[in-house]
Structure 1
Amino acid sequence: MRFERVKPLDAILAAAEQKSLKRTLGWFQLTLFGIGCVIGTGIFALTAAGAQKAGPGLMLAFAIAGAICVVAALCYAEIAAMIPVAGSAYTYTYSVMGELLAWTVGWALVLEYAVAASAVAVTWSDYFQGTVLTQFLGIQLPPWLAAGPLALGGSPGGLINLPAVFIGLLITFLLVIGTSESAKVNAVLVAIKVTALTAFVVLTLPRVQAAQFNPFLPAGVFGGFGSGVGAVGAAATIFFAYVGFDAVSTAAEETKNPQRNVPIGLIGSLLFCTIFYIIVAAGAIGTIGGQPIMGPDGTPWPAGSEELARQCALPQYAQALVCSKEALAHVLREIGFTTVGNMLGIAAFIALPSVILVLMFGQTRIFFVMSRDGLLPDMLSRVHPRFKTPYVVTIITGLAVSLAAAFLPVGQLADIANAGTLYAFMMVAIAVMLLRKREPNRKRSFRTPALWLVGPATIAGCIFLFVNLPFAAMLVLPIWGAVGLMIYFGYSRSRSHLGRGIVEVVSMDQAGLEPEIPGAH
């Protein structure tokens, strides 16, 4: 479908060509880059939630999510190499399918970044409370300050997740005054996370017991539409652990022989991360067990539900993997490596704030580009006179992130973030296929191999994971989208620069935006 307001691709490419990048990356460097981008928060945050959905089938869930990421990444690579400008999937959609659909993608990305940042804030809070406060300082926060309300999956008696609110507001303050991390600092933090996970694998694998994997699929492969359980339901949740691979796609313009090296880098890094994740899951489940807590109907209680919180408060489940808020550190403590478990908790405590910063920084970029297109008020991209940062949108984003982190558990937040991500990736695949058909002679430094198969596989895979999210998470996207459409038709459409005949496309350099720092999830 093509709408009447399509941003001219020639104008977008003219902006992109102002910045010529030297091709220096080979397949090995690209693979390492991809590993650094992908391995991040998800494995720390979602091991317990994934095990509650699928039990030992969590290992299969990682394989399913990884396979869908591979085809999505190959589609992303072609259009990212063609249009290397600010705005990501929003800009790609604007140039191919028009303003209305571009608005829906940009609106979905706003949801993705904000909710993902909230999920990471909750994870940081869990490791902060479990390792820093309890293990090192011997302090236990009052239950009502330690987690969100019971009805939203918090600990019994919970009211607000105060540490999560604190870290969200602190990162907001740092972004307002202009503090942003460098790629070198981020590389160090990624190395800390990878080292911690490697230590986890080395210590747990020798203690794996085959009996812990039986039954392997206690909730089956498919848990049913909207249930969010089973191996596929877990895959829809732990998809969060893979997001970040798109940064590899955007490096296509800096890659030597991209037609050969980009697929190797993408598939190689995702294959490595998938195997690594499966081994981590095997180490966690094979040592202390990872069977879900079942309801009376023989299916797992939903992760983050009120009833699961009640079950986890019972003595017989107090040490269960599925009840732990800092699963990997908890596993190491349970098998006698308390010091190493605490070190892993400290690694997460140190590294995760940078992830929140990256996600909120990415949020401001999307707002900035949409504001420059006239679809959002100019005030959202207003720059602080002293700090030279987009402080208005940063403060709004920070308050929204902190509010969600205050009341929602990490599993529900990851599901909601994935809904927006899956929609954006699906639209990118459609844009690639439409652009290939309409303008086959356009210069492409990378062409998606077998697009006739990879493109539809990406669309089908994204829809497949979406319909296996919990029903509540599925509902969030259309409701959020409906609110966005009301804003578009009530405000944005009449003020759109393109609709008023103003065509303005800016490169990242012109926009004053640094390249996004990878490794967000």
Structure 2
Amino acid sequence: MIFGRVKPLDAILATAEKKSLHRSLGALQLTLFGVGCIIGTGIFVLTSVGAQKAGPGLLISFVIAGAVCIVAALCYAEIASMVPVAGSAYTYSYAVQGEFLAWTVGWALLLEYAVGASAVSVGWSNYFIGTVVERSWGIDFPTWLSAGPVFLGGQPGGFINLPALLIALLMTGLLVIGTSESAKFNAILVAVKVTALTAFVVLTLPEMKTDNFTPFAPGGLFGGFGSGVGIVGAAATMFFAYVGFDAVSTAAEETKNPQRNVPIGLIGSLLICTIFYMLVTAGAVGSIGGQPVMGADGVPLPTGETLATQCATAQFAEALVCSREPLAHVLHTIGYGTVGNLIGYAAFIALPSVILILLFGQTRIFFVMARDGLLPEALSRVHPRWKTPHVVTIITGLIVAVAAAFFPVGALADIANAGTLYAFLMVAIAVWQLRRIDPNRRRAFRVPAVGLVATLTVIGCVFLFFNLPLEAMLVLPAWTAIGLVFYGLYGYRHSHLGRGIVEVHEPEIHELAPEIPGVDEAR
């Protein structure tokens, strides 16, 4: 029975020790990884999209999305410190809900990481073309090299998004070289984006006008089922910008002292990013306004041809919601053109860190699924010199690069959210179940009031899911059905657990002894 295939936690830990990744990351690097993924897409790419859905009410949208992430982060912190191996929600589900549901979680995470990486690659391309090539260099970048073909949703005259393709391949190569090297590179990019956002806050907050926050919620609290607009609809979209902390848990197997450092990286990165989101949004909306373009029915127009037509008119050409470079546009509007250009360059420099972390998370999940036999085991090979899963990294990077080259950003963030919310829901259930079935296992971090926190996480994830656009909601069941075909044809038959290949970890004497500061680091 597929629902009876539950892999014991001891077996998961034993497998990880036998074919493990190099442990090189500390608490600071993990926090920077989380900050690198969270701060970027939402602020530099999706701020104008969120304002079009919610208007000034986007401030509340960030609060709603952040609240769901906080309770989800607590669940992740406990289970990641208990199971310090790669695989994130997939591994956790395997240990509690069983192989079948674990496969659906791992498959759904492809929507989060790979689709997200492709979307951010396209977003980076927009900044590169608009800020660097056209505005700074004065070169008219050809359309056929900057967008996919029109029949795939691109622009008329488009053929391939060459910059998006190249940046995805570059980040793939960096990950192949090594995790430690990637973390150092990411730390530099995080410093750039934090500096840029700090400058933005300092310049825009003094320019805030209370009139720009009226009306506060032009799209209402709920825009209607399947509409994806309103404050809650914007929260469902902006959730995409918060989910970087999940990538931290995927790095648990490559973390030194994971029982301590994983919770620090998870919660620390989320708190830092939440503060920045609120301050930057207040500065942007308060300084130049953030009212959406409304349709004839009094509802904010969704992304599409009609909105694009309105944004091309003189009335809305300078609106925040119509800008492709929202933060740079705000600074240009209030008279800080030079700094605005620097903000554009900061986005151009920093967005690759988001692509890096999303690729990192996806490859590690595929690595563990292959190690469990659900995917071809060749994917779990570790490079003898760089100690990274180079085969799966290269394959994943090629897929992401091709998608970025030929498909537009469009509704990719909403599609990615559908898979992410499902995975987070399963993690919350797993934490609650483990408290019941394995209460005595050591937990370096324990969720306070776990029943309440897990329940709030489940409710929050379901709530945001049903406030996504209808098209995004339908993607998840369709994608799951495709995944089940793959599982039936390969994973079910080749699963190590299904074939009785289960390694049970017998603790050694030193593992039963109390932890002594300095001893574990020396081992």
TM range (shorter): 0.7 to 0.9
Range moving further from structure 2, 404-413 or 306-315: 404-413
Q: Is the contact between residue 153 and residue 309 of structure 1 (CA under 8 Å) also seen in structure 2?
A: no
Range moving further from structure 2, 316-325 or 450-459: 316-325
Q: What residue number does 1:322 align with?
A: 321
1:3 aligns with 2:8: no
Q: CA deviation at 1:135?
A: 2.0
Q: CA deviation at 1:323?
A: 1.5
Other structure's SS at 2:185 match: helix
Other structure's SS at 2:65 match: helix
Residues matched between the structures, number? 499
Range moving further from structure 2, 281-290 or 65-74: 281-290
Q: What residue number does 2:312 align with?
A: 313
CA distance in 1, matches of 2:31, 2:9: 30
Q: What residue number does 2:43 align with?
A: 43
Cα 1:205/1:60, change in 2 over 3 Å: same
Range moving further from structure 2, 330-339 or 227-236: 330-339
Other structure's SS at 2:414 match: helix
Q: What residue number does 1:414 align with?
A: 413
Q: What residue number does 2:287 align with?
A: 287
For 2:411, the aligned partner's letter is: Q
Other structure's SS at 2:290 match: coil
For 1:221, the aligned partner's letter is: L
Other structure's SS at 1:215 match: coil
Cα 1:167/1:185, change in 2 over 3 Å: closer
Q: What residue number does 2:463 align with?
A: 464
For 2:430, the aligned partner's letter is: A
Q: What residue number does 2:496 align with?
A: 497
Q: What residue number does 1:127 align with?
A: 127
Deviations 1:237-274 (A, max 9, x none): 11122112346665895566x9xx959x8667545533
Q: What residue number does 1:232 align with?
A: 232
1:176-255 equivalent positions in 2, closer than 5 A: 181-246=181-246, 254=258
Q: What residue number does 1:518 align with?
A: none
For 1:287, the aligned partner's letter is: S
Cα 1:61/1:221, change in 2 over 3 Å: same
Q: Is the contact between residue 371 and residue 377 of structure 1 (CA under 8 Å) also seen in structure 2?
A: yes
Q: What residue number does 1:118 align with?
A: 118
Q: Is the contact between residue 37 and residue 358 of structure 2 (CA under 8 Å) also seen in structure 1?
A: no
Q: CA deviation at 1:435?
A: 1.0
CA distance in 2, matches of 1:501, 1:262: 33
Q: What residue number does 1:64 align with?
A: 64
Q: CA deviation at 1:72?
A: 0.5
CA distance in 2, matches of 1:154, 1:320: 23
Q: What residue number does 2:297 align with?
A: 297
TM-score, scaled to structure 2:
0.86
Q: Is the contact between residue 252 and residue 262 of structure 1 (CA under 8 Å) also seen in structure 2?
A: no
1:390-409 equivalent positions in 2, closer than 5 A: 390=389, 392-409=391-408
Q: Is the contact between residue 155 and residue 309 of structure 1 (CA under 8 Å) also seen in structure 2?
A: no
For 2:372, the aligned partner's letter is: D
Runs of 5+ unmatched residues, structure 1: 507-521
Q: Is the contact between residue 252 and residue 446 of structure 1 (CA under 8 Å) also seen in structure 2?
A: no
CA RMSD, 1 decimal:
3.4
For 1:433, the aligned partner's letter is: W
Q: Is the contact between residue 16 and residue 83 of structure 1 (CA under 8 Å) also seen in structure 2?
A: no
CA distance in 2, matches of 1:275, 1:121: 25
1:450 aligns with 2:449: yes
Q: Is the contact between residue 223 and residue 233 of structure 2 (CA under 8 Å) also seen in structure 1?
A: yes
For 2:241, the aligned partner's letter is: A
Q: CA deviation at 1:335?
A: 1.6
Q: Is the contact between residue 35 and residue 273 of structure 2 (CA under 8 Å) also seen in structure 1?
A: yes
CA distance in 2, matches of 1:389, 1:448: 32
Q: Is the contact between residue 148 and residue 161 of structure 1 (CA under 8 Å) also seen in structure 2?
A: yes
Q: What residue number does 2:161 align with?
A: 161
CA distance in 1, matches of 2:87, 2:30: 22
CA distance in 2, matches of 1:337, 1:502: 63
Runs of 5+ unmatched residues, structure 2: 506-523
Cα 1:30/1:105, change in 2 over 3 Å: closer
Cα 1:313/1:402, change in 2 over 3 Å: farther
Other structure's SS at 2:46 match: helix
Q: Is the contact between residue 153 and residue 306 of structure 1 (CA under 8 Å) also seen in structure 2?
A: no
Cα 1:30/1:100, change in 2 over 3 Å: closer
For 1:300, the aligned partner's letter is: P
Deviations 1:371-392 (A, max 9, x none): 1211112343456799886555
CA distance in 2, matches of 1:494, 1:292: 52
For 2:204, the aligned partner's letter is: T
Cα 1:308/1:148, change in 2 over 3 Å: farther
Other structure's SS at 2:431 match: helix
For 2:277, the aligned partner's letter is: Y
Q: Is the contact between residue 154 and residue 306 of structure 1 (CA under 8 Å) also seen in structure 2?
A: no
CA distance in 2, matches of 1:368, 1:17: 14
CA distance in 2, matches of 1:435, 1:329: 47
Q: Is the contact between residue 232 and residue 464 of structure 2 (CA under 8 Å) also seen in structure 1?
A: yes
CA distance in 1, matches of 2:17, 2:168: 37
Q: Is the contact between residue 46 and residue 411 of structure 1 (CA under 8 Å) also seen in structure 2?
A: no
Q: CA deviation at 1:71?
A: 0.6
Other structure's SS at 1:183 match: helix
Q: Is the contact between residue 84 and residue 259 of structure 2 (CA under 8 Å) also seen in structure 1?
A: no
Q: Is the contact between residue 237 and residue 411 of structure 1 (CA under 8 Å) also seen in structure 2?
A: no
Q: What residue number does 1:480 align with?
A: 479
CA distance in 2, matches of 1:269, 1:393: 27
For 1:419, the aligned partner's letter is: A
Cα 1:364/1:79, change in 2 over 3 Å: same
For 2:116, the aligned partner's letter is: A
Deviations 1:20-52 (A, max 9, x none): 999x97xx9998886566433321111011011
CA distance in 1, matches of 2:77, 2:177: 34
Other structure's SS at 1:165 match: helix
Cα 1:252/1:296, change in 2 over 3 Å: farther
Other structure's SS at 1:3 match: helix
Deviations 1:442-468 (A, max 9, x none): 221222111111111101101111111
For 2:183, the aligned partner's letter is: A
CA distance in 1, matches of 2:236, 2:478: 19
